[in-house]
Amino acid sequence: MKKILVTGGAGFLGSHLCKKLLNEGHEVIAVDNFYTGNKDNILGLLENPRFELMRHDITFPLYLEVNEIYNLACPASPIHYQHDPVQTTKTSVHGAINMLGLSKRTNAKILQASTSEVYGDPTAHPQKEDYWGNVNPIGIRSCYDEGKRCAETLFFDYWRQHQVRIKVARIFNTYGPHMHPKDGRVVSNFIVQAIKGESLTIYGDGTQTRSFCYVDDLIDGLVKLMNSNDDITGPINLGNPNEFSMLELANLAIELTGSKSDILFRSLPEDDPKQRQPDIDLAKKVLNWVPKVELRDGLKQTIEYFKKVIN
Ligand code: NAD
Ligand code: UDP
Ligand code: UDP
């Protein structure tokens, strides 16, 4: 049994991760400041004696004794991370320094939830880990993209300078139950709009693409990465390479909810990446990981969840 810290443990991904780690028999400490997280996500875990919940902001130091750290704390949807962009950068940068300091002192292995956003609006397609990205350093997405890039820098410097055992996962768009119904991400927006019979809002002409990974697959990948040998540091892409346009996604959401909603075209936000698809050869090779859930099946599960929470 390991003692594992999950920062952002009350969020979408964090709550699923805590559940999986508890099911594997570990002791789990979830740290969250509830900026975007929600106690409902972890309601089923609170009575477990191996689970502990701490309200804490990781931009401040934290002293605990743990064996592993999953650093997931950070708002992830554009609406939320742009609401207080300075705090977003502080969470990525000061948060990483504190968690790496904790890791250095306790010799805990530490995994960073990085993102495909480090590739920005990519000029290489699909994106491989050795692509350095095309990121605007001063735009409205920069607090998130550059914060995450700086966090990766810190991880690799703590590894080179202090031999901290690091794992960096570059997570591509992930969806599933526990997504915040109002976080503005495309999957939650389309499903909620379709269930309510409202128009689905496509930004731009809907030809931009994303590749969507179901949450269970992603969590499986994160745990496999954490459990890999110490020489596997990443960065390593985790995502589902099946690529869809936003128009295709909208039509699928309408079909699977049986909705009568129509589609409304809105203007495209600044710096919105035109295409995104992970190259996951590295994850296949070193982690023996491939995502298994098809978009259609994952969307059905997500629709069931949203039907329960928004009614
Ligand atoms: P989320 O917003 O649901 O979860 C983030 C959690 O972190 C929330 O519970 C929030 O309250 C907490 N948090 C934010 N700032 C904090 C702080 N300073 N101190 C303590 N807690 C704080 O988002 P998510 O989708 O679960 O994302 C989790 C991680 O995965 C994030 O780091 C995100 O950047 C990364 N990621 C997610 C996706 C995705 O598609 N979901 C894609 C790429 C990367
Ligand atoms: N830190 C922490 N918990 C720990 C150890 C360190 O939060 O258990 C914080 C500490 O406040 C420091 C940061 O992590 O600001 C970086 O730690 P490091 O040891 O690298 O730096 P130093 O303390 O030498 O500045
Ligand atoms: N998007 C959309 N309608 C919405 C929300 C988002 O067309 O209601 C688009 C958005 O412009 C982007 C894509 O869907 O091109 C994915 O957006 P999301 O915020 O989910 O993720 P990210 O842009 O961070 O990959």
199 has pLDDT over 90: yes
Ligand nearest to the CA of 80: 1
Q: Report percent pLDDT > 90 for the chain.
A: 95
Residues with CB under 6 A from ligand 2: 61-63, 97-98, 101-102, 104-105
298-304 average pLDDT score: 98
Q: Report percent pLDDT > 70 for the chain.
A: 100
Closest C-alpha to ligand 3, atom 11: 203
pTM of structure: 0.97
* Per-residue confidence (pLDDT) for residue 270, from 0 to 100: 85
Closest C-alpha to ligand 2, atom 6: 101
Q: pLDDT tens digit string along 233-291?
A: 999 999 999 999 999 999 999 999 999 999 999 999 988 889 999 999 999 999 999 99
Closest C-alpha to ligand 3, atom 13: 186
* Three-class secondary structure assignment of 121-151: CCCCCCECCCCCCECCCCCCCHHHHHHHHHH
Cis bond upstream, residue 126 (ω within 30): yes
Do residues 193 and 261 make contact, with C-beta atoms less than 8 angstroms apart?
yes
What spacing in Å lies between the alpha carbon of 91 and ligand 3's midpoint? Answer: 23
Residues with CB under 6 A from ligand 1: 7-8, 10-14, 31-37, 57-59, 72-76, 91, 95, 113, 115, 171, 173-174
What's the mean per-residue pLDDT of the chain? 96
87-95 average pLDDT score: 98
Positions marked active-site: 144
> What does R_g of the chain's alpha carbons equal in angstroms?
19
- Amino acid, res. 91: T
Q: pLDDT tens digit string along 48-89?
A: 999 999 999 999 999 999 999 999 999 999 999 999 999 999
SS3 content of the chain, % helix, strand, coil (to 5): 40, 20, 40
311 has pLDDT over 80: no
d(CA 57, CA 214): 28
Least reliable range by pLDDT among 25-29, 124-128, 157-161: 124-128
197 has pLDDT over 90: yes
* Per-residue confidence (pLDDT) for residue 103, from 0 to 100: 98
* Per-residue confidence (pLDDT) for residue 310, from 0 to 100: 85
